[in-house]
Amino acid sequence: MSRIKARVLLLQWLGILVFSQSLAWSQPAVGVDATMAADDQADMAEWDVPPDTPASLDDGLSINPILLQPLRDNTIGLEYRDRPAYFYGLWLCQQLDPKLLTEYALAFRNQRQAASPKYANKKSSEFPQFVDVFQHPQEYRGKPVVLHGYFRKLIQSDAGPNDLQIDQIYEGWFYNDDSQGNPAVVVFTQKPEGLPVGGDITEEVRFAGYFLKMYGYQAQDTTRKAPLFVAGTVQWYPSRAANERPPAPMWIYVALTAFAVATVWAVWTASRSRSGSYSRFDSAGRSFDEFPPQEFLGDGNSRPIEPHH
């Protein structure tokens, strides 16, 4: 095969790959894609489950493992194979008393903390469960989780075809102090009256639901992943002023105060030793563009990473 022909074939292959990726990115943020290739349609029966399949085998302590088997982490959007766990999980949340689901979630949280050498002997409030979910998705698959934080985006949409009478869903992009600017996606079916829907909100919420998978999405800078949860509803705290984030942890204020005191002391010391001369400082300043972007679980001062559709 000549070099020119090989290059032509390579360019054709790259064009097909780019086109297929552009189709994948154009899908809705959350929702089972109804359009499938012929090969996927042929395999539909493999992922469907009998109508009488129980959503849980332990009264809601977890989602039925049979429903969870097809799930794959780090896929872009939801796949057809995710339908059983996705819809049965939503249905199960509708059937359970939110208080009972919260009790299940707190009990599982205590188990995870007890199994952590770093946090086993610390207060429950110090256990960063968002980080634990992100780092150990297999341990959380189909298990109950309760988290407190805020929505930065809330979308209402049709649920898509299903046999469980789930007509519409709400998709919330969720952040809390542990997430360090990284979102989770919370899909639920019952919205508290008055909770605003939109793409630029800051609303304090608490939810109890089930973790399904790590969900891939396109951010403004690159491809990222977020924990995907299903819930029945969320508890909304409307007393917090609109577009006001929850207060930062106390340690941040302490650190900022200490930094300010140290800075003032350093400047005062330098002014005395140099008789008011600041020639040792670069008058042009230092460009923060020199520093690479912060990775997940960095110093805790990152800005929220917003989804880009």
Q: What is the CA angle 215-216-222, rounded to 5?
A: 150
Q: CATH number of the domain at 29-236, out of 1.20.1050.10, 2.30.42.10, 2.130.10.30, 2.40.50.140? A: 2.40.50.140
Mean pLDDT lowest among 19-28, 34-43, 143-152, 182-191: 19-28
Most confident option among 29-38, 231-240, 268-277: 231-240
pLDDT at 10 over 60: no
The average pLDDT across 48-53 equals: 85
pLDDT digits (tens, 9 = 90+) for 197-239: 999 999 999 999 999 999 998 888 788 999 999 999 999 999 7
Judged on CB neighbours under 10 Å (0-12, 13-18, 19+), 93 is: buried
Mean pLDDT lowest among 5-9, 96-100, 156-160: 5-9
The average pLDDT across 278-303 equals: 33
Domain boundaries, the chain: 29-236
Which is more confident, 280 or 120? 120
Provide the b/e sequence for 163-197 (b: ≥16 CB within 10 Å): eeebeebbbbbbbbbbbbebbbbbbbbebeeebee
How is residue 45 written in tokens? 């029966």
Q: What is the CA angle 109-218-33, rounded to 5?
A: 85
Collect all residues with Cβ–Cβ distance below 8 Å to 269 and sequence separation of at least 6: none
The average pLDDT across 153-166 equals: 95
CA 94/CA 113 separation, integer angstroms: 28
